[in-house]
Amino acid sequence: MKIKVAATTVDKGYTIQIKRGLLSEAGKIIKRITHDRIAVLTNKTVHELWYRDLHKSFKQVGLKENVIVIPDGEQYKNNRTYNRIISEMLDYGINRHSTLVTFGGGVTGDIGGFIAATYMRGIKLIHIPTSLIAQIDSSIGGKAAIDHPRAKNIIGAFYNPEYVLIDPNLLMTLPRREYINGLFEAVKIAIVRDKKLYKYICVNIDKILDRNARTVEYLVTECARLKTEIIQKDPFEKKLRMILNFGHTFGHALETAGRYNNISHGIAVGWGMLLALQLSYHYKYIDLEKCREIIDLIGKLIGRNKMPKISPENIWITMGHDKKVKNNKVRFILLEGIARPIIREIDKNSFKKALRDL
């Protein structure tokens, strides 16, 4: 399936292609886009598992690439890694006509997108996402960023790729923990946008967890389609796109408090969604039955993972550094029901009470 993302007044459009086995066609597709030097940015685990297949597809069409490998983990999505990648690109002679291909999960795509946006004031970018989070969320929409010790994704840009190649087969070697990380994002977009997909996830959760190939491909396709619909209506997150932050306000603060190494993104977002549901019920936006139904689904993914011990005051301060702050209140996405998100500004006391009740 191909999904076209339309151009805006300030950025180009691009194509998202989703197909099992698409990695074998990567070289052919990329050759149509670029005729200059290619740098491939990947992470250690993906390099070991899949890079040989990507290289083979390049070799079959006569493409030559320079590969840059970074360590695994959110804790490396920082200025130090950014500068190291820039240095290697300079060593390889990557110029403003070159193309950067990101081949990895959300971290690789985020930092690679920011590199492409800023290196020589912008070079061509192609994403080949290999994690579920990246395939259904972070590779779509043009957001690119690195972290600061005090705030996640605070240094970044909006920068569209030329193409996004999504091969669901790559998810079959993903560690279970990382796969479930991505499921939180799938559940999130279903909750805020689409009753049909939400019901599909509830009914097929066992097949999804077992990674049934057809079920996973459908899930990836639908999530990508829904996100594309949202970003095309609101590419720069002025209003509608904010609903995709459901669970992320508190979730990002948890990640920052743990120095990006203590809790995974998905689990953090899971706790963030539970807090948002608690607030939604507290303000009587959602009824108890529907609230419990959603909590049960999220609980299946969280499993035995406990929320880290945190200082409510420190977390409130951390959320204050986020991009979701207005009038000294923190902006949360709450729910009136499935596909009925609302944006509300929450004060400190209400936040602390909801946190105590989790």
Decide if pLDDT at 197 tops 70.
yes
| Mean pLDDT along residues 214-236 | 95
Q: Nearest to residue 50, comparing CAs of 15, 102, 99, 116?
A: 102
For residue 160, give every residue at least 6 positions away whose Cβ sits within 8 Å of its Cβ, in sequence order, or none. 5, 11, 12, 13, 14, 125, 142
| Mean pLDDT along residues 113-118 | 98
DSSP class of 327:
T
Residue 24 in domain: yes
Shared domain for 137 and 18, answered yes or no, is yes
145-155 pLDDT per residue, tens: 999 999 999 99
Residue 329 in domain: yes
Predicted TM-score of the model (pTM): 0.92
For residue 137, the enclosing domain spans: 2-173
Residue 316 in domain: yes
Which phi and psi (to 5°) does residue 129 adopt? Answer: -75, 140
Whether 353 contacts 279, CB under 8 Å: no
- To the nearest 10 degrees (0 to 180), the angle between helices 265-282 and 348-357 is 110
Whether 279 contacts 291, CB under 8 Å: no
* Whole-number Å distance between alpha carbons of 191 and 338: 5
**What percentage of the chain exceeds 90 in pLDDT?**
85
Structural element, H or E, at residue 38? strand 38-43
270-285 pLDDT per residue, tens: 999 999 999 999 999 9
Give the SS3 label for residue 194.
Answer: coil
Shared domain for 169 and 211, answered yes or no, is no
The domain that holds 35 is classified in CATH as 3.40.50.1970
Shared domain for 248 and 168, answered yes or no, is no
Q: DSSP letters of 183-242?
A: HHHHHHHHHHH-HHHHHHHHHHHHHHHTT-HHHHHHHHHHHHHHHHHHHHH-TT-SSGGG
Q: Which residue's entry shows tokens 């509830």?
A: 202
41-75 pLDDT per residue, tens: 999 999 999 999 999 999 999 999 999 999 999 99
Whether 107 contacts 73, CB under 8 Å: yes
What pLDDT is recorded for position 9?
A: 58
72, 254, 255, 346 from 260: Cα distances, Å: 12, 9, 5, 25
What pLDDT is recorded for position 321?
A: 79
Shared domain for 143 and 9, answered yes or no, is yes
| Angle, vertex CA 57, rays to CA 51 and CA 58, nearest 5 | 90
Whether 166 contacts 22, CB under 8 Å: yes
Residue 188 in domain: no
Shared domain for 292 and 336, answered yes or no, is yes
169-193 pLDDT per residue, tens: 999 999 999 999 999 999 999 999 9
Residue 41 in domain: yes
Count of structural domains, the chain:
2
Shared domain for 244 and 108, answered yes or no, is no
Residue 9 in domain: yes
Whether 338 contacts 191, CB under 8 Å: yes
Alpha carbons within 13 angstroms on the beta-carbon side of residue 168 total 21
Shared domain for 200 and 165, answered yes or no, is no
